[in-house]
Structure 1
């Protein structure tokens, strides 16, 4: 261990190399803003102070030194310094939420994910298109949506499309008409709950009375 430490001091060309592996990879408040900084870097904006002021307005609550260190690493590193990738659950949340509810940072990070993964880019488009059909009752668009899904290499979504296609007319009606079976489903669930409560302890006559009187 002592030999390794001495060799590290001897081989270090710059002071920064002495800290390699000690703190650079630890999670920090800056992680969520690194995609934004990377995008601005690509656009030739490398002023650490201005970038720090911008992400502070987006909610960043840490020092200017971290931003400066991140940009310094990008300048001096032989390989690009990239932000930690988001988890699959986080990306799924970004895709399923209304686009207008995403913060600017979340929109930028989702944009980066979509740029680097064509499958997720296509999936995002299909999910949002279906959500629009559902919210605005545009059931007439369903056949075109199904055709668009089948043109992309998304096996899991193909399974969903096949299930929808088997009951296409009912799904189109559900996406178009203002009526809902929610009330009926609520009564069915209530009856099932009453049945479970007296299961094995009462016959049909008592169950009938409970259903009628509840």
Structure 2
């Protein structure tokens, strides 16, 4: 149940990632507004670089929408382009700009990524008249462990106006989900602060977080008598994935209530079943039933 709950929370975080991006952009805009007047803004333009994943996303979007205009079905497009139907549906329902931003965010962070904001600010303050060696020494004192050549390359891109925009530090849906699903006392001060910022940025993620933690308490403390009230609250004002999870629980309400109330568990039985299946698959087509029986009995 906790695994299914975790999947619903992660899906909610995926769906409302735009809230986090919007808040990060607002904070970036506020930082830009603090730059003193008279200093030209020489920061890189908000244009995505032409990387392989960006170009592939563009071409895939064009191919899918070209076939959609010809009234092809989702399944037919998936077979034609050798894609999963979920991928085709996502490209159909999502704007190209959002897809490109998502593709860019999947690129791994470089060693310079955490220092780009500082470099861009210093570059702007000096109106471009600053040496790469000096900036390299400054960020090295702040913990940079990369090469000097990487810094010079970034400054050259700033002067040419071709540098990538600094990516907002947005935690991934999986990371947010891990913060929500873990017991609150196990989070570090930094993780708790970042989760608070996420909650402030999106009311739907906040609601999912509150419901998830309440349900986790039901499981850990075996308070099955509160399950029906939890389901009602989730069905009333929760994000769609959480409502789906609540509906799943309602379909088998008696069994779930018993699981959250009684001390017994089928975990031992399930473990033995998985063990037998593992042995059976390992021997499939290569041994007799008698050998399978012997192995199961000797490993019991």
Measured against the shorter chain, the TM-score band is: 0.5 to 0.7
Q: CA RMSD in A?
A: 2.9
Structure 1: stretches of 5+ with no match in the other structure: 1-11, 32-60, 64-82
Say whether the 8 Å CA contact 1:30–1:62 is kept in structure 2.
no
**Residues in 2 aligned to 1:196 and 1:87: alpha-carbon distance in whole angstroms:** 36
- Secondary structure at 1:127 match in 2: helix
**Residues in 1 aligned to 2:261 and 2:236: alpha-carbon distance in whole angstroms:** 24
**Residues in 1 aligned to 2:262 and 2:187: alpha-carbon distance in whole angstroms:** 30
Say whether the 8 Å CA contact 2:222–2:260 is kept in structure 1.
yes
Q: Could you tell me which residue of structure 2 aligns to residue 87 of structure 1?
A: 172
- Secondary structure at 2:180 match in 1: helix
Say whether the 8 Å CA contact 2:276–2:296 is kept in structure 1.
yes
1:123 CA displacement: 0.2
**Residues in 2 aligned to 1:149 and 1:124: alpha-carbon distance in whole angstroms:** 11
Residue among 172, 195, 204 paired with 2:280: 195
Q: Could you tell me which residue of structure 2 aligns to residue 136 of structure 1?
A: 221
Task: Calculate the TM-score normalised by the size of structure 1.
Answer: 0.62
1:28 CA displacement: 4.0
1:33-72 alignment, distance < 5 Å: 62=142
1:166 CA displacement: 1.5
Larger of the two Rg values belongs to structure: 1
Deviations 1:42-82 (A, max 9, x none): xxxxxxxxxxxxxxxxxxx949xxxxxxxxxxxxxxxxxxx
User: Matched residue pairs, number?
Assistant: 151
Is 1:211 aligned to residue 296 of structure 2? yes
Q: Could you tell me which residue of structure 2 aligns to residue 165 of structure 1?
A: 250
1:174 CA displacement: 1.1
Task: Calculate the TM-score normalised by the size of structure 2.
Answer: 0.45
- Secondary structure at 1:178 match in 2: coil
Deviations 1:164-203 (A, max 9, x none): 1111111111111111211111111111111112111223
